[in-house]
């Protein structure tokens, strides 16, 4: 299904697993990961994820892959500021954790809602594991991501 607005097209397709990037804005105390990230964009992504029956996880620059109900303390690790060897290892760590949780990734459709700096380190390891990547926000300006999420109810999702 597609819904096109003034500058945003929303495609709603099925996936087996959803990966959502964390946000820099966080609460100032430990809580469940799904509550820790306080940015509007993250809250909208969480709402999108929770409407599906498919599992979803958070991509964290500090913790790699996090279950939504995992308990986390605030942190300041920004993947964008880490050296390339860290980002490469981080990508392998994400895929290793996802494989541990979900089992064999071969044939799974993994939808990723994350900036390119988070997508790049995990793309090749996910593909090597046999997963198919979906990037519905590719080509959507970061400033339009909240609009993209807000348009979904208008599409009947």
Most confident of 7-16, 19-28, 93-102: 93-102
| pLDDT in the model for residue 12 | 53
Digit-coded pLDDT (tens) for 79-89: 989 999 999 99
| Whether pLDDT at 155 is above 70 | no
Residue for token digits 């988070």?
118
In DSSP notation, 9-43 reads EEE----SEEEEE--S-B-SS-EEHHHHB--HHHH
Predicted TM-score (pTM) of this structure: 0.87
> How confident is residue 25, by pLDDT bands cut at 50, 70 and 90?
confident
Domain 2-155 belongs to what topology? Answer: Rossmann fold (3.40.50)
Q: What are the boundaries of each domain within the chain?
A: 2-155
What confidence tens digit (pLDDT) does each residue in 126-141 have?
Answer: 999 999 999 999 999 9
**DSSP single-letter state for residue 131:** P
At what angle are helices 116-128 and 84-102 packed, to 10 degrees? 50
């Amino acid at each position: 299904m597609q819904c096109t607005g003034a500058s945003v097209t929303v495609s709603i397709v099925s996936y087996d697993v959803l990966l959502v990037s964390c946000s820099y804005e966080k609460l100032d105390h430990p809580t469940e990961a799904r509550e820790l990230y306080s940015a509007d964009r993250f809250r909208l992504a969480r709402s999108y994820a929770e409407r599906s029956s498919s599992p979803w996880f958070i991509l964290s620059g500090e913790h790699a892959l996090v279950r939504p109900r995992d308990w986390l303390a605030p942190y300041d690790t920004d993947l964008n500021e880490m050296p390339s060897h860290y980002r490469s290892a981080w990508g392998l760590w994400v895929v290793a954790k996802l494989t541990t949780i979900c089992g064999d990734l071969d044939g799974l459709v993994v939808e990723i809602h994350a900036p390119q700096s988070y997508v790049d380190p995990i793309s090749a390891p996910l593909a090597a594991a046999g997963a198919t990547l979906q990037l519905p926000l590719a080509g959507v300006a970061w400033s339009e991501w909240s609009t993209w999420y807000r348009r979904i109810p208008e599409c009947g999702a």
